Amino acid sequence: MKKKMGLIPLVLLLTLGLVAIGCPAEAPAPAPAPEVEVITWKISGHGPASDMSQIHCDKLAAAVTKASGGRLVFKEFVGGSVAPAHEELDAVAKGTLDACFTCPMYNIDKWKAAGLFSSRPNGLPGECLRVWFNYGGGAELFNKMMGEDYNAMTFPGALAPLPPEVWAHSKVPINSMDDVEGLSMRAIGDGAAILGRIGVAVVTITGGEIYEAMETGVIDAFEYSTPALNWDMKFQELAKYVIYSETRAASDPQVFFVNKDSWNALPDDLKQLVQDEMDKWSQAEQEYLVYNDIYATQKFIDYGCEVSHLPKDVEQALIAEAIKFYDERAATEPPIYKEILESMRAFKQAYTTQANLTTPLK
């Protein structure tokens, strides 16, 4: 009897041991998650909050912040709120801004060749311009123009080409070169100089002065922007004739620029994300404006305006004078000017040849 009783403690010990082996040890407390570094960029458009380019700049900012999971926050500003209006690119180069979305033509005070990218007579139309910029070396040439010492850069996918601008809104019809000569017309930039060379009496005023100048008879015609924007400006109230042709301003693009130091500090995955989103939203702006221009043209017609195409003889005169104008300028500007001009001309010729091969015969 005593021997049997002595076995109980041994069995109990074995049982407890087996239970202990079958129960896992208590898991250690999880290590705290590493803090995610948040990078904040300041990005500005070049216009007011209602400007379509500013709206798409804001859409880009929201998309980058969301897609990065908050690792890269784009804090958006409207034009003129961080840097003086139209000086956003200089603010990027100085580091006041990390990025901006602005028109190249605002920078012709630094590089005359910047005007070749923007709103110029006989320039590249929207799709052609974007393809050249993305694949034909345009982005690389823009960076070369700005120079290594200028602390800002762009890249393929960063250009949003606007649709062609209205050639002119006019109180009088334009049926031939006879109607162009002496026409009192508001115009700016290279277009103003070239229009003057074909006989237009050019008046250079700001966009905000157009309405009064037309009402008071200071001018009888004017150029401004695309059909959709011009409709919103109520220009249908000023001029009966709305004349179309891409020869004066085939496209007036906006381009995304980034500060080189800010860019180089980004990890590779965020660089790719930024480029992808810039490509997406620059293309989205172009498509949105093309869509709205279609319906704006019909609005002009329904209002009672006469919509027509610029006569062929005026187009030919403008193109011929534009070629002479840019050849003369290329002969006096730094070599990069001629390099960009020749690259654009060669690509436009190739693009047009291809388009003509595929366009149905009329």
| Whether residues 82 and 184 fall in one domain | no
271, 292, 313: which is the final residue of a domain?
A: 292
| Whether residues 106 and 232 fall in one domain | no
| Whether residues 281 and 206 fall in one domain | no
CATH of the domain at 174: 3.40.190.10
CA end-to-end distance (rounded Å), the chain? 119
Give the tens place of pLDDT for each residue, 74-88. Answer: 999 999 999 998 899
Phi, psi of 129 (to 5 degrees): -65, -45
pLDDT at 9: 45
CATH of the domain at 130: 3.40.190.170
The rounded mean pLDDT for the chain is 90
For the chain, where are the alpha helices, taking DSSP H only?
2-22, 52-67, 88-94, 126-135, 138-146, 177-180, 189-197, 210-215, 227-232, 260-264, 268-303, 312-330, 335-358
Residues 351 and 321: their CA atoms lie apart, in Å, by: 22
| Whether residues 272 and 152 fall in one domain | yes
Give residues with Cβ within 8 angstroms of 215, minimum separation 6. 238
| Whether residues 112 and 242 fall in one domain | no
Domain that holds residue 187: 166-250+301-331
Give me 268's structure tokens.
Answer: 């590779």
| Whether residues 120 and 79 fall in one domain | yes
Grade residue 41 by pLDDT with cuts at 50, 70 and 90: very high
Residues 220 and 140: their CA atoms lie apart, in Å, by: 41
| Whether residues 74 and 122 fall in one domain | yes
| Whether residues 214 and 315 fall in one domain | yes
Give the tens place of pLDDT for each residue, 147-156. Answer: 999 999 999 9
236, 265, 292: which is the final residue of a domain?
A: 292
Task: Indicate whether 10 pLDDT > 70.
Answer: no
Has residue 15 been placed in a domain? Answer: no
Has residue 121 been placed in a domain? Answer: yes
Has residue 318 been placed in a domain? Answer: yes
pLDDT at 265: 97
Residues 52 and 114: their CA atoms lie apart, in Å, by: 22
| Whether residues 308 and 227 fall in one domain | yes
The count of structural domains within the chain is: 2
| Whether residues 177 and 194 fall in one domain | yes
List, as own/partner pairs, every contact residues 289-293 make where C-beta atoms lie below 8 angstroms and the sequence separation is at least 24, other chains included: 289/52, 289/162, 289/163, 289/226, 289/228, 290/126, 290/163, 292/227, 292/228, 293/163, 293/226, 293/227, 293/228
